[in-house]
Amino acid sequence: MAETAAEAGIAEVGIIMGSQSDWPTMKHAAEVLDLLGVSYEKRIVSAHRTPQRLYDYAAGARERGLKVIIAGAGGAAHLPGMAAAMTPLPVFGVPVESRALSGQDSLLSIVQMPGGIPVGTLAIGKAGATNAGLLAAAVLALSNPVLAAALDDWRAKQTAAVAEIPKDEA
Ligand code: RP5
């Protein structure tokens, strides 16, 4: 029986971020991929501070077997767009909440791509990172029935966990 990518140790999703300071946000993408059994790798790849690392990572991503890239950055957040410019893989961008402008700068930097080079832009912060993980899994699930079932199960559990009647906070 053929190994899955996860069993073979091949990452299907690349989670990249501009700085160590982005990890507390981006780890939420990793957590959802862990829950769903999707293989991923995580790297600090800065568009500004390590441009050659970004070039090498994005230009070689497809050949290395990655299927989807999740890119998170804050402030002048050029990482998702520059990565998308150098790979044909789908790129999902996560605007990290910046200190100065609460992530509005990150959001606008990532979402306003010129026509022809798409970045699927998520919400600012934790929700965006979680949803980037779910979207990456949904893309992979198109050709992976086991993963599709895991995603269905994840959603069913989320639905079951929502109480019908609100209660006072402790
Ligand atoms: C961006 O600058 C990073 O994505 C990060 O969100 C922001 C601040 O980086 P640090 O100064 O915290 O390293 O490149």
Does residue 89 lie in a domain region? yes
CATH number at residue 99: 3.40.50.1970
- What is the reported pLDDT for 10? 85
Number of independent structural domains in the chain? 1
* Residue percentage of the chain with pLDDT more than 90: 93
Quick check: is 6 in a domain? no
With contact defined as beta carbons under 8 Å apart, do 57 and 89 qualify? no
To the nearest whole number, what is the mean pLDDT of the chain?
A: 95
Q: Identify the pLDDT of residue 3.
A: 56
Residue 34 marked as a ligand binder: no
pLDDT of residue 1 exceeding 50, the answer is no
Q: Is residue 166 part of a domain?
A: no
Q: How far apart are the first and last CA of the chain?
A: 51
Rg (alpha carbons) of the chain, rounded to whole number: 17
Nearest to 40 by CA among 12, 16, 64, 61: 12
User: Domain for residue 88, yes or no?
Assistant: yes
Q: Is residue 5 one of the residues assigned to a domain?
A: no
* Percent of the chain's residues with pLDDT above 70: 95
Query: Would the annotation count 22 as a binding residue?
Result: yes
Protein residue with its CA nearest to atom 14 in ligand 1: 18
Q: Is the pLDDT of residue 7 over 70?
A: no
Beta strands in 81-133 (DSSP E): 91-95, 120-121
pLDDT the model gives residue 80: 98
Q: Give the CA distances from residue 45 to residues 52, 58, 98, 164, in Å, rounded to whole numbers and listed in that order.
A: 9, 10, 17, 43
What's the pLDDT at 169? 87
Identify whether 48 is part of a domain. yes
Q: Over 60: is that where the pLDDT of 161 sits?
A: yes
Q: What is the pLDDT of residues 58-77, one digit of tens each?
A: 999 999 999 999 999 999 99
Pocket probe for ligand 1: among 17, 22, 27, 98, the residue whose CB has the most ligand atoms within 8 Å is 22
What confidence tier does 2 reach under pLDDT thresholds 50, 70, 90?
very low
Mean pLDDT of 116-133: 98
Tell me which residue range forms the domain holding 153: 13-159
Asked if the model's pLDDT at residue 90 lies above 70, the reply is yes
Look at ligand 1, atom 12, and give the residue with the nearest C-alpha: 21
Cβ < 6 Å from ligand 1: which residues?
A: 18-19, 21-22, 46, 48, 73-75, 96
Q: How far is the CA of 19 from the centre of ligand 1 (A)?
A: 5
